[in-house]
Structure 1
Amino acid sequence: MTEFSPHFENSLAGVLEDGIHILPVRVYYEDTDAGGIVYYANYLKYLERGRSDMLRLLGVDQMGMLAFEQDDDVQFVVRRAEVDYISPARLDEVLLVKTGIEKFGGASLIMAQKIYRGDVLLVSAVIKAGILGQTGRPVRMPEKIKCLMENI
């Protein structure tokens, strides 16, 4: 059995280009309704994959942070999602989820995300993520993660 190489695993996380994380996502049958159109809630899953893979590509170990072994370990939670559904995606299409950092708050982060099919904008979203510490209370963004995000 062939093992996953770290190089291959990182390639699954998309790419960083000009301050934007880009993640390709294929639309599978399970993502669609009876008409072969992506069900609206599945776009939220695609957006989550974009945010998670951006962090992964930056070297942020979200699973490790959930153990709260380090003093500055945190978890990210969606506090607010504004989503505009512009045009539908269909079965077997390849979409690009693009994620950019808009603004850092004290204990929050605002990200702009867009989903494209080629050059056609399908979904536009603004996601506000809260940053929580081990107690579940808001905490400031760890400086090491902020630096990674600022230098995309």
Structure 2
Amino acid sequence: MKIRVYYEDTDAAGIVYYANYLKFCERARSEIFFSAGLSPQTEEGYFVVKGLQADYYEPAKLGDMVEVETKLAERKRASIRLLQRVVREDTLLFEMGIRLAFVKEGRPAKIPESLYSIISLWNSES
């Protein structure tokens, strides 16, 4: 998913505020569902962040066009692990591994097979 860096995304120096990379990644994950005509929240449940590890390499700046790449790294019964990268052209800016747990009625639950068709899009789209 491509994202333009706006003034609201930056600090006083025009550099993307560190926490906004997490927002960019969240938007990209949600967009996969929206582009399929669905919502990330369904009657079957929803994903919550269980943990993440992030690395920052180069700053994005006001006006930059960046792309968020998302890949499914691991699939378990009630969770998935993704690798997400924010790049500008061929330059890696940010990278994180994130574990998402599937929850239904406030408790961990098996990820429905119907959601895996959407999740599989994370390996073919950005």
- TM-score w.r.t. length of structure 2: 0.90
CA contact (8 A) 2:73 2:81 kept: yes
Superposition pairs of residues 3-152 of structure 1, within 5 angstroms: 23-63=1-41, 65=42, 68=43, 73-134=44-105, 136-150=106-120, 152=124
1:38 and 1:83 map into 2 onto residues whose CA distance is 15
Question: Which structure is higher in RCO with an 8 Å CA cutoff and minimum separation 6?
Answer: 2
Which 5+ residue runs of structure 1 have no aligned equivalent?
1-22
Which 5+ residue runs of structure 2 have no aligned equivalent?
none
Deviations 1:96-123 (A, max 9, x none): 0011111111110111100001110000
Instruction: Give the fraction of aligned pairs with identical amino acids, expressed as a percent.
Output: 39
Higher strand share: 2
Q: Would you identify which runs of 4 or more consecutive aligned residues in structure 1 move more than 3 Å?
A: none
Offset at residue 129 of structure 1 (A): 0.4
Taking only aligned residues, the RMSD between alpha carbons, in angstroms, comes to 1.4
2:20 and 2:118 map into 1 onto residues whose CA distance is 28
CA contact (8 A) 2:83 2:96 kept: yes
Give the structure with higher Rg (CA).
1
1:62 and 1:50 map into 2 onto residues whose CA distance is 11
Judged with a 3 Å threshold, the aligned counterparts in structure 2 of structure 1 residues 133 and 97 are, in CA distance, closer, same or farther, namely same
Deviations 1:27-66 (A, max 9, x none): 1111111111000000000010011112223443234x1x
